[in-house]
Chains A and B, each alone.
Chain A
Amino acid sequence: MSNIALGRYIPYDSLLHRLDPRIKISAMFLYLIAVFLPVGFLGYGILGAVLLLGVLMSKIKLSFILKSMRPMLFMLIFLLIINVFVIKTGVPLFSVLSLTVYSDALIQVFYIMVRLLLMITVTTILTATTKPLDLTLGIEDLLGPLKRFKVPAHEIAMMISIALRFIPTLIDETYRIMKAQASRGVDLKEGKMREKVMGILSLIIPLFVSSFQRAEDLADAMEARGYFPGKTRTRYKQLKIKRADILFLMFTGTVLAGMIVLVIL
């Protein structure tokens, strides 16, 4: 469980944790739009500073965010290689084995990386400060207007929340079965290739079986309590917009506006 940082809720009590999920999702989208504008070094500097402020406000440790960044390393190397091969404009910097590296290639890679970094950080902040169920309530409300076009907003939200709800359960179950099979001599670390494949099978099949069992049980339990998709339901948890929410959204809007101005100038 400890090595999965991406998309986990971290239960602190901070200003960001208390904000309305709808506001946080909207703000994230505004920020993402800003990230995808060609704002140059200065723009990214400002966006980075704003994000750092967000991280500080959320009380989440920088090391946690860096940890969720680790899978990106491979992608960085991949991007670097592709760009070095493809982009041949700008000032030639140096050559490695008859391959000349141009400045534009490095700049391009730098921009992509900064964008990815900012994107992952902002989504990590969102998921780390918002309980999964609040997140789906927010999504449901934001999708609400689409109901007019027959988009099943509630069902989508319910599916997301069930999926999110069962991720930790599945992870626990995976570890449990892994341990049970390790007790039966499965060695996923040191064994031969053939044994490893068999070991993975011994993990996947029980997980599959138990997931279907769980899904069936859940469906029965929901039906037994009168759940019926498409029917109007009331909500126990009511979302309320507070003054801090409005200020937060306005601030993010201002950042976006500022970036647009920066691009036009």
Chain B
Amino acid sequence: MAIEFKAVSYEYSPNTPFAYVALKNINLSIQVGKITAIIGATGSGKSTLVQHLNALLIPTQGEVVVLDKTLYAHSKNTQLKALRQKVGLVFQFPEAQLFEETIEKDVGFGPKNFGVPPEEIKQRVIDSLKMVGLDETYLDLSPFELSGGQKRRVAIAGILAINPDVLVLDEPTAGLDPQGAQQMMALFVNLNRTYQKTILIVTHNMEQVLDYADDVVVMEKGEVVSQGKARAFFKDKELLDRLDIVAPPVVTLRDQLMGNGFTLSEDAFDLDTIAREIAREVGHE
């Protein structure tokens, strides 16, 4: 079981004046059971990359292995529905996909399409709404009555209800208030820790990468320019400079403390731990 890109290229509108190569020879391996962040500037190919994971896009060159399914360029790939049940994809601004009369029906739409029996659908709907922080009083409301943030939660619940093994999220916290964003990220961490879901998050937020991701993939102009452990990534000053990435303030703080003679442990990457270690060091002297 793995997720792997082997020499994958993707070109939009080939053989027209609008032809555009969005992915160039991508070789990438994503660890199952981890949280992986995909970062990169706008237009670097992140969204194109993740749409290969549930076969919405088929590579124009190379092959993509997702769990037990391999997608080949230049061949008719069938039985994509089974793959889509295993890989749930939450698009950017997913609230645009709501359409049913009630929230219950909308969240249950995915499971119904994948042939989940009706009795189970109801339970799944209630469970996944609870996961995103909405209780049963919402079941009979119209999704169009909700606020933007609530709509987002319902849309995400609609994917969770499919119960995929791999959850791919394209900028899930864009446009949410900081508290809502934090709750959302906590949900994904919980899904990963408690249910062993593989999580992939496309994000622009470096703090989220540092705080929540195990691995990080950096894209630039359709190519993968770096992949590795998130913590190691933020320690590599040269790499960050080369990729023009600004590390979160806590990393800068850590660097400056260490530059001024403090010794901090390998995984002291949040304020609490740093404060505790400094207190210990100062207390010893």
Q: Interface of A with B (CB < 8 Å)?
A: 1-2, 10-12, 173, 176-177, 179-187, 190, 195, 201-202, 205-206, 209-210
Contact = CB atoms under 8 A, between A and B. Distances in A.
Interface residues of B, number: 30
A185 B13 CA distance: 25
B96 A205 contact: no
A182 B97 contact: no
A12 B85 contact: no
A190 B80 CA distance: 10
A195 B85 CA distance: 16
B195 interface: no
B162 interface: yes
Interface of B: 12-14, 16-18, 51, 54, 56, 81, 84-85, 88-91, 94, 96-99, 109-110, 112-114, 144, 158-159, 162
Given A1-B18, A177-B96, A179-B51, 6 more contacts: A2-B14, A179-B56, A183-B88, A184-B162, A185-B84, A185-B114
Chain B interface secondary structure, helix, strand, loop or mixed? mixed
27 contacts: A1-B18, A11-B17, A12-B17, A173-B96, A176-B96, A179-B51, A180-B91, A181-B97, A182-B84, A183-B56, A183-B89, A183-B90, A184-B109, A184-B110, A184-B159, A185-B84, A185-B85, A185-B112, A185-B114, A185-B162, A186-B113, A202-B97, A205-B99, A206-B96, A206-B98, A209-B144, A210-B96
A197 to B, nearest CB: 13
Q: Which 6 pairs between the two chains have the least Cβ-Cβ distance? A: A185-B113, A205-B99, A184-B110, A180-B97, A2-B13, A183-B89
Contacts of B84: 182-183, 185
Contacts of A181: 97
Nearest to A202: B99
Q: Which of A195, A201, A202 has the most CB of B within 10 A?
A: A202
Nearest to A1: B13
Nearest to A186: B113
B16 A184 contact: no
B109 A202 contact: yes
Contacts of B98: 206
Contact of A179 (B17, B91, B110, B159): B91
A223 B186 CA distance: 41
A142 B220 CA distance: 48
Contact of A185 (B90, B99, B110): B110
A173 B159 CA distance: 19
Contacts of A186: 113
